[in-house]
Structure 1
Amino acid sequence: MTGPRNLITDVPGISVGCAEDPHMKSGVTVVLPDEPAVASVAIHGGAPGTREIALLEPEQTVEAVDAIVLAGGSAFGLDAGAGVQGRLAELGRGFQVGPVRVPIVPSAILFDLLNGGNKGWGATAPYRDLGRAALDNTGKDFRLGSYGAGCGATTANLKGGLGSASVVLPNGVTVGAIVAVNALGRATVGDTRHFWAAPFERDGEFGGFGLPSPLPDDAVCVRTKLDGLNAGANTTIAAVATDAKLTKSEAKRLAVMAHDGLAKALWPAHTPLDGDLVFAVSTGQRRLECPLEDMVQIGAAAASTLARAIARGVYHARPAPGDPVPTWQDRFG
């Protein structure tokens, strides 16, 4: 079953905050654990944009992070991590080195510079301030679709957006996902209303239409943004979280398995022009009785939950003036 909110914040110890500029059509989303949390990352796209990522590998020294940042703005959006880091330092959080605390804030960005928004910010991009605002907005409830890092996201045929979902497993473990869907490919089966993620849908959360039967002729045709936008205008960035107590190596495996959900929900995925990336976070509040067996279930749940979150991000997107593609609701709602 899903968690009570069907959001990543159903995972105990996780909050989320968003800030966006609708005129700029870009924004920032922050995933904030109550306490420093074990985390890792898997990058399977060929064009990622990141900050403080190397330290998430299992062999590196730092074991826990203070926040995860997803942002628009391409490389300009990496400033959002600095804004979150500065605000966390003001709040007294961070990795302690003698009398000094350094907040650990891994970040990833997506390319939304060609989505019709006003990017004329001059010498100083606004993402540092958006990062601070997103952190100050953190809580248990947040909106899906054209908000936060998904504010101006697009796919090949429809507007993308911020998506999230959760599931509670029979052993009591909660798994949640959050994603900013800005893919090179499509989340729908061809140009139909049906989502590739349909087999994983719960309670009609993105329309309840299932898969089309038979599949349309163009279902597996490779239509991408290269048909209408410049190369590089892509990336799906996500985080999955669980209250299961994981090591850093197990968090790495969770991030790798979660990518299966991205591949189930988007066609094509993991291309040379996508920056597809998944963070994995463990709040460590529930000890596993059978770690190896439980990890199989948790990893599969992370994949299916991420697939659902991707469809929900597209399903809830809202139109705005100058959008290069329509929303799902415009076309099929």
Structure 2
Amino acid sequence: MSQLFQPLRQRDIVLRNRIAISPMCMYSSVDGLPGDWHLVHLGSRAAGGAGVVMTEAAAVCAEGRISPQDAGIWNDAQAVAWAPVARFIAGQGAVPAMQLAHAGRKASTHAPWRGDGAVPLADGGWTVVAPSAEAYADHYPQPLELDADGIARVVADFRAAAARALDAGFQLVELHAAHGYLLHQFLSPLANRRDDAWGGGFEGRTRIVREVVSAVREAWPERLPLWMRISATDWVDGGWDVEQSVELARGVKALGVDLIDVSSGGLDRRQEIATGPGYQVPFAARIRREAGIATGAVGLVTEAAQAERIVATGDADVVLVARQSLRDPYFPMRAAKALGVTPAVPVQYQRAWGD
């Protein structure tokens, strides 16, 4: 019996299988609003049989966008625009999920196909913020260091965004604390040079994450799951590492996080990553084992047997699929067939999926 296609209960929500569509930026929004592209893109992955379909990183404030074309959830108009997307995903039997994010010093940058580095203020860019006044790279924006009031606003923005996600009909939210964005910047000593209550040692550097989790849990119902994505390591000596990730996972579990979505890297351009199929799975396995929390594994998961093995061996509870789902929106249905499971096929498509 396939373990990948066993349901998973998290609080009052049941995932129909262990495949989640990972957040992937589309750089296709105007004023943070999702549009037809998002409905079709995310809706097709829900029709494709995934257990969870997660939006791209939705910025919790305008200055938290990665690019001017990023989606957001910082105002009510955006919540209204997201509602039909969440409704369609749920209607296909998948759990509609939203990732809440703030890009910090990696904000106000170009969409990938428009170039690299900072968007000038004259072209729609903006002033960015970070734990410390150090740019990600020479051609990236120079950030302003957040003061205590600014940190409080960030925490409040995450809380308000969670409330709007709930109003829009999402049943799961994920906090983005990975890939060199704002929360990860606070976590890593390579980006956080502060010597106040939000810097220095582990307790200080992880403080904002704990504050955000607690604030979001105030707005997000107890009956609904809360996930958090982290980079388990910076892949740079002296940076954030898997030992600290385990300790963070223990702490946020006690505050109400239900699953750690385990990625890596993205904070420092000196990173050296030896990639390969499932290269991040050992991090998910270690955090699951040592922190006693459910984990998701992501990164070059492209085959049904590979995904099955990750779950069946207990390395992770969920497999998140990203680029493979761009190549094949129906990867979950194909994986089910390959593993001898009857796929969850919309009635409109069943005539094409019979034996």
TM-score normalised by length of structure 2: 0.25
Which one has a larger percent helix, Structure 1 or Structure 2?
A: 2
Which one has a larger percent strand, Structure 1 or Structure 2?
A: 1
TM-score normalised by length of structure 1: 0.26
